[in-house]
Structure 1
Amino acid sequence: MTHVDPAHLVELALGHATAGEEDAGALRHIRQCGRCRDELRTMTRVVTAARTAQLVDLPAAPPERVWRRITHGLSPEPPAPRAPGAHTKRDRLLLTALTATALAAALTAAHRAGRLRRRTG
């Protein structure tokens, strides 16, 4: 039995399924194959978690002194103080970067799992 390629599962988890025969065949296989169905379910959960992540979901915000040092290193002007709890563009960029990192890790794991399955068959 040929399983759905992990990269294809990722595309399906991201919601990129089309009306084409390749996606239709993959979806038919997934309905019949518990292993591929479980992998798609796991990838879909990762995508959903990444898309719904909020700044409060991060383990801890970096201390303000870290951002001051970074800003000082990039600009001679001191940064303007911000209100406690105010989210800046930098915070949103950090969240986006962490979300992309989590998704990349999930894709890498899926790819490696697919290669391992092909070898052990």
Structure 2
Amino acid sequence: MAHVEPAHLVELALRNAAPTEADTAALRHVEQCARCGDELRMLTRVVAAARTAQLVDLPTAPPDRVWQRISRGLSPETDTHGPPPHHPDHWKRALLALLALATAVGAAVVHRRLHERSR
């Protein structure tokens, strides 16, 4: 039995696109496989938490160097002397969601590797 790839589980948890035949097959597998079901439930919880996160949920404001790296990554000509003057809340939420998703994917990979080693 082939398990659902972690990237596909992330896509299923995000639910950003219309379901495909591959998604339907993956969900059928998830219904029967405890391992994939657990991973999808965990990722779905992380996505839900990230989507409802507020800036005040962060323990502290990110340091200026974080904004500088983001600015450099987006545009080489961007002035990187501090945080951007004002970003709509959806950009902040998107950043929080990406950070949470990266954490979830990392946790899922570690979980899977530990589970495979215990066999």
Task: Establish whether TM, by shorter chain, passes 0.5.
Answer: yes
- The aligned runs of 1:47-58 (5 Å cut-off) are 47-58=47-58
Q: Name the CA shift for 1:6/1:120 in 2 (closer, same or farther; >3 Å).
A: farther
Larger deviation, residues 7-16 vs 51-60: 51-60
Q: State the partner residue of 1:24.
A: 24
> Which protein is bigger by CA-based radius of gyration?
1
State the 1:106 CA deviation.
1.2
Q: State the partner residue of 2:81.
A: 74
Percentage of identical aligned residues: 52
State the 1:47 CA deviation.
0.6
Instruction: Structure 2 unaligned segments of length 5 or more: list them.
Output: 68-79
Larger deviation, residues 26-35 vs 92-101: 92-101
Q: State the partner residue of 2:86.
A: 89
State the 1:18 CA deviation.
1.8
Q: Name the CA shift for 1:41/1:90 in 2 (closer, same or farther; >3 Å).
A: same
When the two structures are superposed, what TM-score results if normalisation uses the length of structure 2?
0.63
Aligned-residue Cα RMSD (Å) equals: 3.1
Q: State the partner residue of 1:46.
A: 46
Contact 1:17 1:23 in 2 (8 A): no
Contact 1:54 1:95 in 2 (8 A): yes
State the 1:114 CA deviation.
4.1
